[in-house]
Amino acid sequence: MAVCKHAPMDNFEGKIAVVTGGASGMGRELVIQLAGAGCNVAMCDLSVEEMAETKELALAGAPGVQITTHRCDVSDEASILALRDEVIAQHETDHINLLFNNAGLSGGGSIIADTRESWDHCFAVCWGGVYYGTRAFMPLLMAADEGHIVNTSSVNGFWASIGADRPHTAYSAAKFAVKGFSEALITDLRVNAPHVKVSVVMPGHIGTSIVENSVRHGVTELDFETTELMQTVSTMFREHAPMTAAEASTVILDGVRTERWRILVGDDAHDLDEAVRADPEAAYDGLTLGPGLLPDPDELGI
């Protein structure tokens, strides 16, 4: 069967995008940069206050676009379906052009030592949010003249480790699922909706608030004795990152514009990908490249 060729979506002006996890980090920067490119955006998250800050920042540089905020738990399909209905109503649309399944948090590092509640919640957000989001918004993407799904995986989607002595099972399992699902969508979309494209994003260590958000919004085994300590760890993770969330979002949007299905973000992501591909059998025998979720406790003096 012949498949129609479509040009990449190199212009976001007048398009409609849905961004999950838009309150902070890469989600916030995606909203800001999309708005700056003339794109109308519906963002969702759990923090109404932080979404309001994102909206204010985005509109400051793009007063003519429409930006809506929606409180949504991406791990709950009913919440995602309500988000879809709100987007249709508030944007007065029967379609969207871009879906960024970006929301994520950490937790459930060990299937043995950590609680099942923590494990299941991390997996539900990081994988379920992508699956439910894609299911809910696929008809709206197919109704558009051109569409693009952007799923955020991680370097932990091809290397299931953050160090030899720190289990990382729930997050890694979810991110592997996101990567595999996205790759499988390439053929599914080519056959059934060739005007809709898909990209899988695999960031390395990016300066985001994932540590803080995992504690505030997640069910996590991270046992911080004080709020001050949690904030210190979160700040170090963000400020010691080799790439900012804004820089990462630029890489992602450039990847969408050029229709790359595989978007590695950061030199560390490229280095780790190369190392794992070069010797996959030895990937867990002492390979130390790649980002850790938390800084080394010795660096914090704790």
**Cα Rg, the chain, nearest whole Å:** 19
171 is catalytic: yes
The residue assigned the tokens 């799904």 is 149
Among the listed residues 131, 132, 171, 284, the single catalytic one is 171
- CA dist 16 and 98 (Å) reads 6
Residues 107/221, Cβ–Cβ less than 8 Å: yes
- CA dist 218 and 231 (Å) reads 16
Catalytic residue numbers?
171
